[in-house]
Amino acid sequence: MRRRAIVVVCDGLGVGTAPDAALFGDEGKKTLQHILRDGKPTLPNLTRLGLLHTMYGEAPAGLPAPAGAFGRLAEAAAGKDTTTGHWELMGLTLDVAFPLYPEGFPPEVVEPFEKAIGRKVLWNKPASGTTILEELGDEHVKTGRPILYTSGDSVFQVAAHEDVVPIDTLYAWCRIAREILRPPHQAGRVIARPFVGANGRYQRTHRRKDFSVPPSGETLLDRVAHLGLKVHALGKIEDIFSGRGIATALHTESNRDGIEKTILAIRDREDDFVFTNLVDFDTKYGHRNDVAGYAKCLEELDAFVPEMVSALKPGDLLVFTADHGGDPSDESTDHTREYVPMVAAGPGVMAGADIGSRKTFADVGATVAEHLGVASLGGASFLGAILSERSS
């Protein structure tokens, strides 16, 4: 029987305060708990699968017995950013966090960037990606100067109107920034943020592109590819791993697009590992403190869960997880240090299997590795705890 793995990362879906949250100023941050409290989403399918069970002592009373396996994972790495979280999921755990720039980027970064692109930047401070367009979009359109901003994440973000700066030029500028951002200023990602619109009414487009630092060591994707197995990446996975270990990739326009492409991959493709990032939770709602929007986004995923699960074939293992928290009820717009969920489904997955609280995201990678017959890079596999004896 052929074995396949499908991992879906719900970007920013935390399920409770991490043990070391105080070190990050994130005491009391609980993404899912606060969305359930304030947004009141209806999630019958995710609930039935086991998502709410991952909150353990904070789960609502009277939940149905889960149809899938469940647990939660603490982050072992030093940061709480997207790149760090995804790398740890795939077995590469960073001891040193990527640098942050709460006061903006220093002259030794900005000046060579401006010289290379032949124009000055606007802003160069942390900002909300939508608010900054409202404030500076008109000035950018008038002057052609790109908007440079960062956040609580390790990101160098460059926003430009598609009619003012051609998309290929914006991508070229970001590649220049990626070359400039060397240690000690090795930001985790350079992000192209194209937008459209006029007269103060601007909106970002789906042609965002991330230029990440290449993984600093081997990941499970590298190991899978070395053995001739095929990884199909959806969403920003290709960017996060700089294309390493990835056979085929498709970028997505939205969570819905990513979910639909994942279902099609399960049904129609013959990949060994389908790896999906659903970014809307984080980008559109977590970073914008939009509890109601986050709740609706979860409902959108919930509606597709039956179709995704029914598409699974014998030997398939589906895992829902996350890369960090993103509590939209928080006073800040930053990521939050939280446990992330692990919910698994598949023909051989035991209903109600409880893996408990794990010490590292890398346990997901270790489990996928064992399922695919690949040597693990670290972490502890929970495959034996969730698969029935006849399927293990």
Q: Which residues contact 50 (CB under 8 A, 6 or more apart)?
A: 66, 67, 68, 69, 70, 343, 352
Amino acid found at 262: T
- Shared domain check, 223 and 118: no
Give the whole-angstrom CA distance, residue 351 versus residue 67. 4
- Shared domain check, 292 and 197: no
Count structural domains, the chain.
2
27 domain-assigned: yes
C-alpha dist (Å) from residue 77 to 58, 73, 243, 257, 325: 25, 12, 22, 30, 14
164 domain-assigned: yes
**Structure-block tokens of residue 60:** 């609502």
Pairing of strands 316-321, 340-345: antiparallel
pLDDT at position 151: 85
Give the whole-angstrom CA distance, residue 181 versus residue 378. 29
- CATH code for the domain of 116: 3.30.70.1250
Using CB atoms within 10 A of its CB, is residue 303 exposed (0-12), middle (13-18) or buried (19+)? middle
Bridge partners, residue 316, by sequence: 4
**Is residue 176 within a helix (H) or strand (E), and if so which, with residue range?**
helix 167-180
Give the whole-angstrom CA distance, residue 215 versus residue 383. 26
- Shared domain check, 182 and 233: no
pLDDT tens-place values along the chain, 392 residues long = 789 999 999 999 999 999 999 999 999 999 999 999 999 999 999 999 999 999 998 988 889 999 999 999 999 999 899 999 999 999 999 998 899 998 999 999 999 999 999 999 999 998 887 789 999 999 999 999 999 999 878 999 999 999 999 999 999 999 999 999 999 999 999 999 999 998 888 998 988 899 989 999 999 999 999 999 999 999 999 999 999 999 999 999 999 999 999 999 999 999 999 999 999 998 888 888 899 999 999 999 999 999 999 999 999 999 999 999 999 997 777 899 999 999 999 999 999 999 999 999 999 999 999 999 999 999 999 999 999 864 54
- Shared domain check, 309 and 201: no
**Residue 355 main-chain phi, psi, to 5 deg:** -90, -5
Give the whole-angstrom CA distance, residue 114 versus residue 124. 12
Give the end of a domain, one of 211, 230, 262: 211
pLDDT at position 391: 54
Give the whole-angstrom CA distance, residue 49 versus residue 67. 5
SS3 250: strand
For helices 82-89 and 362-372, the axis angle rounded to 10 degrees is: 40
- Shared domain check, 248 and 197: no
- Shared domain check, 293 and 377: yes
392 domain-assigned: no
Give the whole-angstrom CA distance, residue 74 versus residue 361. 6
Give the whole-angstrom CA distance, residue 225 versus residue 142. 47
pLDDT at position 390: 47
C-alpha dist (Å) from residue 297 to 236, 253, 310, 364: 18, 14, 21, 24
**Structure-block tokens of residue 355:** 């893996």
pLDDT at position 373: 96
**Structure-block tokens of residue 360:** 């590292």
Answer whether the bond into residue 194 is a cis peptide, omega within 30°.
no
Give the end of a domain, one of 178, 194, 211: 211
- Shared domain check, 198 and 224: no
391 domain-assigned: no
Q: Which residue's entry shows tokens 């720039």?
A: 101
- CATH code for the domain of 328: 3.40.720.10
Give the end of a domain, one of 188, 211, 234: 211
Q: Which residues contact 17 (CB under 8 A, 6 or more apart)?
A: 26, 27, 28, 29, 30, 337, 338, 339
- Shared domain check, 118 and 13: no
Q: Quick count: other Cβ atoms within 10 Å of Cβ 40?
A: 10
Q: Quick count: other Cβ atoms within 10 Å of Cβ 137?
A: 23
Bridge partners, residue 149, by sequence: 125, 157
Give the whole-angstrom CA distance, residue 274 versus residue 367. 14
Q: Give the predicted TM-score (pTM) of the model.
A: 0.90
Distance of CA 228 to the CA centre of its chain: 26
Domain housing 9:
4-96+215-386
Give the whole-angstrom CA distance, residue 163 versus residue 174. 17
- Shared domain check, 138 and 91: no
Task: Give ∠ CA 320-281-247 in degrees, rounded to 5.
Answer: 55
